Structure 1
Amino acid sequence: MDPDQIDPAGEGRVLSPDDGDYLRFERAVAQPPAEVWAALTDPDRTAAWAFRTEFEPRAGGTVTTFDGGAGEVLAWDEPHALEYAWDGPGGRWQVRIAIAEHGDGAFVTFDHVGPDPNSPDIAAGWHWHLDRLELHLSGGTPPEVDSDPHFEELQRLYSHAEG
């Protein structure tokens, strides 16, 4: 999708190429790619908007999630591409993130590859986390909660979109 044609709500959508479905979110942010990269890869910063994640900074390196789950870094191209997978609830989780320069900021493409990219709960969860990432990038402090009224609104949005 052209960065100038972004859905203003940042809503995710499932894409279905020949190699399988994935859930895609696209966001334009005011911060440069290096700042977005830091928010996505520094453990203290990931803990601020999502969950603490530690990376061995290279393709083939390890990734450790908040609950001690382990996985693998599949791509590490600072500050443009990050892909990783880990074993978590419901199976093998995999995300890939592309960061491109966009004006004075960055354009972020976030793909949830698995498990179940068609799940309304997963869509709502990643949408909520990406909203929190944007708040963090803008200098705000996301509250330390597992859910809030915004998340519940997103669950309704994606559940309705499914039906």
Structure 2
Amino acid sequence: MPETGPREPTGTLVDGPEGLTIQIQRTLGHPPEDVWAYLTDPELLRWYGTYTGDPASGSVQLAMVEAPEAPGKCVIEVCERPSRLDVTLTDPEGADWRLRLSLDHAESGAGTELVFRQPVAGFETMTGDVGPGWEYYLDRLTLALGGGDVEAVDFADYHPAQRDHYTPETLAGS
């Protein structure tokens, strides 16, 4: 990476305990402790955005790279260093987005298996836009971990090319 042009989606929609869920798995060539740092350290989180506030309080204000002018509340529900992080983001319209990240040692023994999940109950019609966004951000994370230029990752390589892949109606027909 970085590649140019449309990227192949790596995730899927699954029926999980919280209903329809976007799920994306990545094997990262870095130990869980390093990946954890890129998920939680404000200096290393720049591949995704920035946050202000004290995570020990249970919530911070989080601004995504693509919407720095619209920070939202991020409530930390579960924080089990370095294996699990569950948060709820409140978008500018007041909708809650539940994000679940789990990290485990990769089966190969080297690196980390990251599993990202986002239950989408209540906004299933948006999955065709949301799924490609998470693919984009997880590719930025992968590049950041390797010391690469995250700005080289172009959202246009993900959306609209991956839209149909993450649309429930498309999956139901397959």
Correspondence 1:149 to 2:156 = yes
Is residue 18–residue 119 contact of structure 2 (8 Å, CA) maintained in 1? no
Deviations 1:81-134 (A, max 9, x none): 001012105611110100001112100001112463561110000001101110
What letter corresponds to residue 58 of structure 2 in structure 1? G
Matches within 5 A, 1:13-162: 13-47=12-46, 49-54=47-52, 56-58=54-56, 61-66=58-63, 67-89=70-92, 91-102=95-106, 103-114=109-120, 116=123, 119-143=127-151, 147-152=154-159, 155-159=160-164, 162=167
Deviations 1:39-75 (A, max 9, x none): 011112212x1111357445x7113211331131000
Is residue 22–residue 117 contact of structure 1 (8 Å, CA) maintained in 2? no
Identity %, equivalent residues: 25
What letter corresponds to residue 72 of structure 1 in structure 2? V
Whole-angstrom CA distance in 1 between matches of 2:92 and 2:114: 25
Is residue 99–residue 108 contact of structure 1 (8 Å, CA) maintained in 2? yes
Q: Which runs of 5+ in 1 are unaligned?
A: 1-8
- TM-score of the aligned structures, taking structure 2 as reference length: 0.75
Q: How many residues align?
A: 150
For residue 149 of structure 1, report the CA deviation from its aligned partner: 3.4
Stretch of structure 1 that moved more, 10-19 or 131-140 = 10-19
Is residue 132–residue 166 contact of structure 2 (8 Å, CA) maintained in 1? no
Against the structure 1 CA distance between its residues 144 and 160, is the aligned structure 2 distance closer, same or farther, given a 3 Å change threshold?
closer
What letter corresponds to residue 97 of structure 2 in structure 1? W
- TM-score of the aligned structures, taking structure 1 as reference length: 0.80
1:4 corresponding residue in structure 2? none
Whole-angstrom CA distance in 2 between matches of 1:117 and 1:44: 33
Higher RCO, Cα 8 Å, sep 6+: 2
Give me the CA root mean square deviation: 2.4
